[in-house]
Structure 1
Amino acid sequence: MSKSNPPRTILITGATGGIGGALAKVYAEPGNTLILQGRNAARLAELTALCETQGARVLTQVLDVCKLDELSGWLKEICQLEKVDLVIVNAGVNTNIGPEGKGERWEDVQNLIQVNVLAAMATVDAVLPSMRSCGDGQIALVSSLAAYFGLAVTPSYCASKAAIKAYGEALQGWLGPEGIRINVVMPGYVESQMCTDMPGPKPFLWSAEKAARYIKCGLARNQSRISFPFPLNLGTWFLAVLHPWISVRILRLLNYSG
């Protein structure tokens, strides 16, 4: 783990979500350029105005990350126009098995994998050439504590975040020697519409602002894994260590059985 100069040009996907919007605000300061992607044009405009009042230069793109070719094309163009210091791969969606446990709709599962996994990988693929050419840059991949052990209520979401965790860890080993810093961010429950829509208890709930400040600090220190809050991080890690038979029963006792 090593510290580096503060990033001046920060690109955030999913900037109109809870964590994404909060991250934009904590990086909005004089001298910084924010490149913000989101699907909600009105929310993006509000966020832009707020960040500009804090002194940041803001560039925005209304784009559905499911359109991988458009996403890749936009990112490559941006990297030609701007030297992007930090890319926060944050866009994500969730789905669940429903209140009666009927199961996830296949259409929702396909969309989730497109956003949470393929779009995340497409983002990395598009920004890497410019970073590798100058031997510098930082990419933060937003996974989840749900990556440690699958929850019965959100199987596809857990699978997607486990994929991003493993992907980020692999990138660390590959790109670290080239001077490119890769960080895997693993939040617990953070206040957002996506969190509200998720069924089940939400212990140790953090505000989006608190989470953003913690992530920013972890990225500044170049922590390979930024996971929080500590009690939930420890608990979910133990679920992965224990025998699955035990972990499943613990989750049932905690009302995560679906």
Structure 2
Amino acid sequence: MSTVLITGATSGIGRALALDYAGPGMRLLLVGRDEARLEEVAGLCRARGAEVVAGRLDLREREATAAWIAGQDAAHAIDLAIACAGIVSGTSAARPVESEEALRAVLAIDLMGVVNTIEPTLAAMRPRRRGHVAMVGSLAGLRGFPSSPAYSMAKAAVHAYAEGIRPALRREGIAVSLIAPGFVRTPLNEAVVAPRPLEMDAARAARIIRRGLDGRRAMISFPLVLYLGLRLLALMPARLGDLLLDRPGVDVPETTERERR
């Protein structure tokens, strides 16, 4: 039986991945903060034949997260961990600069939440010299978006972290995958007012990610045309890139989440 850990399993891509992986012969460790939604997705996964352990955790709480992951791994070794939890925050014409509280909240969840998931998982996998960890970044991690500077910063850091640890872990038999999706319809971004070219639903995104993870691909980025476009944009002179991305009509609501102190 394969054991898969998925954070952010109560909504969006994380929920879609949980449902995609659910089936006979699968043990799912599903992590989320909303108890009702966590139980709902756990029930759906069990109905598909999966064995499910639901963990109501706040990934900002480093010690509690590490203890839970270590306990689950001691019971059944984790084969794959997908760090998917995250929030979105940004700017608008009325709020051209993000507040300090929103910026720190995004970093606490989108960056440190990933680190707090991956570090204890690797501590368990490395002595076995096998396993697979995956981190959900974003195409926004390829080039800073004026509409979401903190989100872009967090995702860029996730990209650098995944790329930085990948070579050494490969030598130890552990695969590292970086997932960089484009626009995906999720409750997380339903209030965002902005163009969303080539947007897809979460179920389709999960299928693409699953195929990439099954192949232990180092980089899973889609849609390809947006990925290549942002790669090119990052190579352009900064002033030109700024002009192309600056959209005064875009409104990305500021998060109400706050950093845990």
For this structure pair, what is the TM-score category when the shorter chain's length is used for normalisation? Answer: over 0.9
* Equivalence map 1:224-235=2 (5 Å): 224-235=218-229
Q: Which amino acid in structure 2 is aligned with residue 220 of structure 1? A: D
2: CA distance, partners of 1:199 / 1:233: 21
Q: Do the aligned partners of 2:110 and 2:154 also contact (CA within 8 Å) in 1?
A: yes
Report if aligned partners of 1:218, 1:226 keep a CA contact under 8 Å in 2. Answer: yes
Mapped pair 1:200 → 2:194: yes
How far has the Cα of 1:52 moved from its partner? 0.7
Q: TM-score, normalised by structure 1?
A: 0.93
The residue type equivalent to 1:72 in the other structure is A
Tell me if structure 2 keeps the 8 A contact 1:191–1:207: yes
1:102 is displaced (CA, Å) by 4.0
Aligned residues with identical type, % of pairs: 34
Distance across 1 between alignment mates of 2:233 and 2:251: 14
Pick the aligned partner of 1:35 from 26, 29, 50: 29
Q: 1:227 & 1:78 partners in 2: Cα distance?
A: 30
- Does structure 1 conserve the Cα–Cα contact (< 8 Å) formed by 2:32 and 2:58? yes
Aligned-partner Cα distance in 2 for 1:254–1:100: 10
Shift of 1:256: 5.8
What is the one-letter code of the residue matched to 1:190? V
Q: Say which of 57, 63, 78 aligns to 1:84.
A: 78
Structure 1 contact 26–212 (Cα < 8 Å) conserved: yes
The amino acid across from 2:227 in the alignment is N
Give the aligned residue type for 2:81.
V
Opposite residue 41 of structure 1, the aligned amino acid is E
Map of 1:127 onto structure 2: 121
Aligned to 1:108: 102
221-230 or 75-84: bigger deviation? 75-84
Provide, for residues 170-208 of structure 1, a one-character-per-residue CA deviation record: whole Å limited to 9, x for no partner.
Answer: 111121100000000000011111222334211110110
**1:169 to partner: Cα distance:** 0.4
Secondary structure in 1 aligned to 2:23?
coil
Provide the C-alpha distance between the structure 2 equivalents of 1:215 and 1:243, rounded to a whole number of angstroms. Answer: 32
The CA RMSD measured in Å over matched residues stands at 1.7
Letter in structure 1 aligned against 2:2: R
1:101 Cα deviation (Å)? 2.7
- Residue 245 of structure 1 aligns with an amino acid whose one-letter code is R
Q: CA deviation at 1:66?
A: 1.4
Partner of 2:63: 69
SS in 1 for 2:190: helix
Equivalent pairs, count: 252
Say if 2:18 is the partner of 1:24. yes
CA distance in 1, matches of 2:222, 2:189: 15
Distance in 1 (CA, whole Å) between partners of 2:155 and 2:19 is 24
The answer to whether 1:145 aligns with 2:132 is no
Cα pair 2:92 2:250 within 8 Å, conserved: no
State which drifts further: 114-123 or 11-20: 114-123
Gaps of 5+ in 1: 1-6
Give the counterpart letter for 1:186 in structure 2: A
The aligned counterpart of 2:237 is 243
Contact kept, 8 Å, 1:153 with 1:256, in 2: the verdict is: yes
Residues 195 and 22 of structure 1, relative CA distance in 2, 3 Å threshold: same
2:46 matched to which residue of 1? 52
* 169, 174, 180: which one aligns with 1:175: 169
**2:223 matched to 1:218?**
no
TM-score of the aligned structures, taking structure 2 as reference length: 0.92
Give the match's secondary structure for 1:197: coil
Preserved contact between residue 66 and residue 111 of structure 1 (Cα < 8 Å): no
Q: Deviations over 1:192-236 (max 9, x none)?
A: 112223342111101100000000000111111000011211111
Q: How many Å apart are 1:53 and its aligned residue?
A: 0.9
Partner of 1:187: 181
CA shift, 1:257, in A, is: 9.8
Determine the structure 2 residue equivalent to 1:3: none
Do the aligned residues in 1 keep the contact of 2:91 with 2:251 (CA within 8 Å)? no
